[in-house]
Every structure is written in structure tokens, then in C-alpha cells.
Amino acid sequence: MATDTRGQRESGTSLAGGRGAATLVAVALASVMLPLAVTAPAVALTQLAADLDASVGAAQWVQNAYNVTFAAFMLAAGGLADRFGRRRVLIVGVLVFASMSALIGLSSDILVIDIARGIQGIGAAGIMTSGAAIFADAFRGAARARAFGVLGSSFGFGLALGPLVAGLLVNTLNWRAVFLMNVVLGLVVLVLVRAVRESRDPGATTVDWGGVITFSASLFLLSLAFVQGAENGWLSPGAIGAAVGFLVFLAAFVAVESRVRRPMFDLSLFRRPTFVVVVCQPFTITFGFVVLLVYLPPYFQGVGGFGAVGAGALLLPLTLPVLTLPMLAGQIATRVPLRLMLAVSSLLIAGGSLWLITLEPGQSWTALIAPLAVFGTGVGSAFGVMDNAAVSTVEVERAGMASGIFNTMRITGEGVAIAGAGSLLASLSLSTLDLPFGATVEQERALAGEATQGRLESALAQFPAEQREASLAAITESLTSAMHITFLGLAVLALAGALVTFLVIRERELRRS
């Protein structure tokens, strides 16, 4: 079905009234569920693992399975949305996401939960790509900037309130409520989405199944390589095998895409430096943010001594700017060069990262407000602006593809960040761990690994009672040092991103649509 240009003109003038408002609310509410599925389980994971007696590896797959499939199927979902309809893919995505949330909330088997989380990631990919493409089709000009500001605020809402809401649910009910709340949200979205106008790319008459299969397989294996490397070592058979498989399928994908008439992944776009830098923004903007979201709560709950609610509350200075700033950033983006906005956002993230090196266990929560707020301001000022920039580099008919490419990079970056940071923190903690008594290598490795997930009670239980206080002091010092080194690495990454963004992006290429 061809796009209704008259409807586009009408909806492009305002976000208010009729179908435009319904579209805005439906997509925004659907988008809230996606960050909730990352931040809330991070808080609930400690209780979930203890309740199901899950191993460290099995518990970590609650996060990894979701991120791997989310990233792997992002571009495929974008291509399918262009072909079969963005509204249709959004509905299917919500159904898959909500049904898997229900299964997770009712299951008592960690393997079933891990598999369901993987399937849930596929549904999330459909929601993410179709939602952004629906906005690109429904709104124009300043209205589009404001709409993507709303989208950024939706992500920010889930990121800002996810840890706190999860902490309250875990304390008052249990970890299952963290997943079941997405079932309720999903049902509301399914009611609202009926008002969304269907749109698709009229030129997408076929599905590039070769591209879908080879690209999804390659990205799945790349994500799996990082997960296996983090869990079993970078030279383990699983990590090496996944990396080799990634290269094989990637080569096959390039070969397939160079031969099809209508590729799902337009490789010619990567001849445009502006497009390349824009779609790589998530590695600068969200890479460090997701590291803090996933690994600060266990740090606060573990060596910091806070409960689940307290750990969630401590993240508010980091997450509240991501809730409040995207709408304002969307307004500013209509007047200020986007490359300047994105470069400044990266500089703020770098400054917040460097300031966080002052992190110490037991310090007053007031000492963390300023560095976390600076970091969060950098992320919040970029949310929504990044998404708008990505879909503005291509024709509106191919918005699904552009959204798919951009969000593939975003979720791949998040998956790599979670797996890589977990491995880095555990390795750095182990390398500086100095127990004042004899301990086996297995005991030290278990202590370092469990500490990164906030599970100190089970980690310390392997030592005699008289050795536990000294063990706690040693792992507190080594894990805190590992966090400091990680913050320094994030600052270097953000500084490099700011420089490249400002020097490479061309404003005229972002304003074409």
C-alpha cells in the first residue's frame, strides 16, 4: 500500500489531535517497555538467581539472551516492516514481547527463562524499528523533531524509573512482578495501536531473505562471541568458533547484498561519512550509559551495602535527565546544528565518566549526584536527536531500513557493553584481588565474578567465618579499582566520539528530509 501523502502533510504540522496524538501515545508507550526490559532485570537479577538457585553463567544469560537476539534481528525487523507494514510489525512485536514476559514471570526454570528472554528480544526488535519508522512516516519537519523527542523521553522514562520501580516491586512482591508489569503495558499498547495508520515502502515488493538470514546469523554470532569470551575466556573454543562464524556469515551477507535488486541493507549508504558517524553514535552515547545501568546497581547492592530500592534510587541523578531532556533537545535540534548537539553530549559523558572516578564504597549518596547528573545530561540531550538524525539521512520510504541499521548499532553496542564490561570488571577485580590468606584460584575467580553481580553473600560463603570480613574488604577494594579503570575507558571513548562527530558530520545531509 502506498503512503498517504495527504495524511503525511496533515500530521506533519502538529503532534496534537486525532490520529497524530494516538500514534504518538501508542509508539511511545510501546517504547517504554524496551528499556524496562534491560534496567529492571538488572535490579531483580540477584533475587531471581537466588530464588532459582541459578549459576552465575545461567543468571547472566537473562540479560545476554535478550541483548543478543535484540541486536541480531533489528535490521531484519526493519526490512520486514518496510515490506509488510510498520503497524503490523509493531503489533506482532508487542504480542511476542508481552507473551514472553508472561512466560518469564510464571516460570521457575532458569533455562526456560533464558530462552524466553531470547524470544522476547526478537519482539523488542520489531517494536524498536517499526516505531521509529512509523514516526518518520507520520510526522514532518519540526513536528518530527518533537515526535522523536517524545520517543527519546519514552526510552528515558523506562531507563529513569526502571531501577527504582524494579526495586520497589522486588521488595514488596518479588522478581516475577518485574516481568509481569510489561504484560500489562503490552495489553494497553495493543488497544491503542488500532488507531495507528499503516505505512510501508511501496518499492519493497519482496523480502531479501538471503540478507535477513545471513545478517541475523552474523550478528547473532558476533554477540555470542562477546558473551562466550566474557564467560569462558576470549581464546575458548566457543568464543573463537562464534567469531569465525560471524566472519563467514558476514562475508556471505556482503555477497548476497551486492547481487539483489532491492537489498535490505543498502551498502552504498556506508559511502557517506555522515551516515556512518550517525549510526555509530550509540557506541559513544549509550555504550557507557548501559554499563552504568547494569553494573552500578550490583555494585551498590554488593560492596555498597544498599538494598534494591536504595540502589535504584541512587541511579536517579543518572536516569532522570534521560527522562526530562529529550523533549527539550528535540526543540533545540530545530535551531542548533545536530553535529554540535551530539558532540557536546559526548563531551558531557566524558566529563561525567572522569568525575565518577571518585566513586568509593560507603560514601555519601550526595557525592554521586553531580557526576551521575553530568553523565545523564549528556545521554539525555542526545536521545531522540540520534534517532531523528538516523532516519533523516535517507528517503522516508526507507525509514524502516535506516531505523533498523541505527538501532542494530545501538543494541549491538549495548550487548557488547554488557558482556564486555562484565568480563572486564571481573578480570580487573581478579588481577588486583589480594586476599590476606591462602585461597585457591577457583575461590578468587568466584569471588570476583559474583561481586560484579552483587552476589557477595554466596561468594563469601565459600570462606570460613573468620576470613569473610577480610575477603569483603579485599574484593571491595579490587572491584572499586576496576570500576575506576572502566570509567576512564568510557571517558576516552566519549572524547574520541565527540571529536569525530564534530569533524565528520555534514549538517546539509541531515536536513534533507
State the average pLDDT over residues 461-465: 81
Q: What's residue 313's pLDDT?
A: 79
Q: Which of 73-87, 116-130, 152-166, 421-435 has the lowest mean pLDDT?
A: 152-166
- Name which CATH class applies to 5-207+264-428+482-510: mainly alpha
Report domain extents, the chain.
5-207+264-428+482-510
pLDDT digits (tens, 9 = 90+) for 25-55: 888 888 888 888 877 887 788 788 888 887 7
Residues ≥6 apart with Cβ < 8 Å to 146: 15, 139, 327, 330, 331
Q: What's residue 57's pLDDT?
A: 67
DSSP state letter for 265: S
Q: What's residue 9's pLDDT?
A: 40
Q: Which segment, 183-187, 303-307, 360-364, 424-428, is predicted with the most confidence on average? A: 183-187
CB-CB contact of 4 with 16 (8 Å): no
What long-range pairs does 47-53 form, CB within 8 A, spacing at least 24? 47/170, 47/174, 47/175, 47/308, 48/113, 48/175, 49/453, 49/455, 50/455, 50/458, 51/174, 51/175, 52/108, 52/109, 52/110, 52/113
Q: What's residue 5's pLDDT?
A: 39
Cell of 154: 519514552
Residue 243 has pLDDT above 80, yes or no: yes
State the average pLDDT over residues 501-511: 75
Confidence of residue 7 (pLDDT cuts 50, 70, 90): very low
Q: What is the pTM of this model?
A: 0.72
Percent of the chain with pLDDT over 90: 15
State the average pLDDT over residues 332-337: 76
State the average pLDDT over residues 110-133: 88
State the average pLDDT over residues 122-131: 87
Output phi, psi for 263, to 5 deg: -70, 150
Q: What's residue 371's pLDDT?
A: 93
State the average pLDDT over residues 289-299: 84
pLDDT digits (tens, 9 = 90+) for 71-105: 778 777 877 887 788 888 999 999 999 999 999 99
State the average pLDDT over residues 381-395: 73
